[in-house]
Amino acid sequence: MPEAEWNDERTRIVCELFVEQVQAGNRPNTHLNNTGYRNVAAKFQQRTQLLYTKLQLKNKWDKFKSDYITWKKLLVVGSGLPWDAAKGTFAANDEWWKKTNKELPGARKFRNHGLQHEDKLKIMFDYITSNGVDPSPPAPESPKNGVDHSPHAANGLPSPADSPMNGVDHLPLSANGLPSAPDSPMNGMDNSPQATHGLPYTQEIPMNGVNLDGSDNTAEDNDDDTHQEPVFQYTPSRRKKLPIRVIATKRKKKSKTETALLMQSHLSRIAELAQKAQDTFEKFSSQADSQPWPSIQDVMTLVRECGARSGSNEHFIATELFVSREQREMFLTMETAEERFQWLRRKYIVKYLSSTSLGPR
């Protein structure tokens, strides 16, 4: 697929279309959804007579995001340097740009001009970067068309590791070549009472659907009377009768009426719990709607009052964070000015200094 060609006019148009889809709610996470890309492609074709694919548009989106993140970090790195208003970037010498480009790849492109379409890119990506979303590419998609590409599937074998191989039972064998009992040793020696007389191991077998392990399938049967009687079985080797202890229990079946009443009781309990959950949710929603949201202006007033003067790192991170209502609400939970100031400082360190190991020069 040939690469898309982007000039200044096409870049401006696609940027406007991206912003339009973001404001329409077609950016669920870090990228547009399929509806957003389709709308951008259709409107871009109407305005330029060029039909670009989703992949070509996504590559342009990623390029915009990379430039925006680099520019935001460059503003932090270059804080304190003189500003060239004509170029819209820092007025620094060649040595500074060379050094900064090594530490922040891609910074050199802003040497002669600032970030183009910054107002539109802010709408596209500021929410993503301000809320801690990882700007790295998304994880690879799952196998296409539901095809299992695991090594087992490639050879026609089942994928689960616990499935039997080729239908073969791999239980350990006893000395006579027969499968040993579950509780017998793994070395081929059978230490069961029958084995001491030279007879093969025999397990208790179910008689007429009766459970032979001393318990029944239902807890209600534990109160019933039980009786034991010897049952004889011929072994294929010695033709001798071996006593096998069988515990026969009398089953007690529940009536249909009792079962129906029990099910009705469970359903009533489930309905009661669901109603309580709904009442709690409605109560919480009504309380949340009755409380006014803190405005950006109110929160920024508290920012200045806590000591974050304009131009400081704390004031800068506040302008990014408090676009989000959740961040404003979190800031208001702090009771003292010192606590708010330290919280802003840590936010700045976590976002810029910890991730890039870069700080103001």
Please indicate, yes or no, whether the overall pTM of this predicted structure exceeds 0.75: no
Considering all CA atoms of the chain, what is the largest pairwise distance in Å, rounded to the nearest integer?
108
Of the candidates 74, 78, 48, 44, which has an alpha carbon nearest to the alpha carbon of residue 61?
44
Residue 23 lies in a domain: yes
**Predicted pLDDT of residue 284:** 60
Beta strands in 12-142 (DSSP E): 83-84, 89-90
Owning domain of residue 54: 8-130
Beta strands in the chain (DSSP E): 83-84, 89-90, 226-234, 241-249
Tens place of pLDDT per residue across the chain (361 aa): 667 889 999 999 999 999 999 999 999 999 999 999 999 999 999 999 999 999 999 999 999 999 999 999 999 988 889 999 998 999 989 999 999 999 999 989 998 999 999 999 999 998 776 654 444 444 334 333 343 444 444 444 444 444 434 444 444 444 444 444 444 444 444 444 444 444 444 444 444 444 444 444 444 444 444 445 444 454 555 555 555 554 544 555 667 888 888 888 889 889 888 888 888 777 766 655 556 678 899 999 999 999 999 999 999 999 999 999 999 999 999 999 999 999 999 999 998 887 554 444 4
Q: H-helix or E-strand containing 127?
A: helix 118-130
**Predicted pLDDT of residue 159:** 43
Give CA–CA dist 314/302, Å, rounded. 12
In the numeric block, which tokens belong to residue 25?
């709610």
Together in a domain, 15 and 65 = yes
In the numeric block, which tokens belong to residue 160?
């689960």
What angle do the packed helices 54-77 and 34-48 form, to 10 degrees?
100
Contacts of 163 (CB under 8 A, 6+ apart): none
Give CA–CA dist 194/187, Å, rounded. 18
């340097």: which residue's tokens?
81
Together in a domain, 214 and 313 = no
Together in a domain, 114 and 80 = yes
Q: How many CA atoms lie within 13 A of 295 on its CB side?
A: 3
Give CA–CA dist 232/22, Å, rounded. 80
Together in a domain, 346 and 259 = no
Together in a domain, 252 and 347 = no
**Predicted pLDDT of residue 339:** 93
Domain count, the chain: 3
Cβ proximity of 231 and 246 under 8 Å = yes
Give CA–CA dist 245/295, Å, rounded. 80
The domain boundary, picked from 208, 242, 274, lies at: 274
Residue 145 lies in a domain: no
Cβ proximity of 106 and 49 under 8 Å = no
Residue 210 lies in a domain: yes
Together in a domain, 59 and 102 = yes
Cβ proximity of 360 and 313 under 8 Å = yes
**Predicted pLDDT of residue 179:** 45
């506040």: which residue's tokens?
318
**Predicted pLDDT of residue 253:** 60
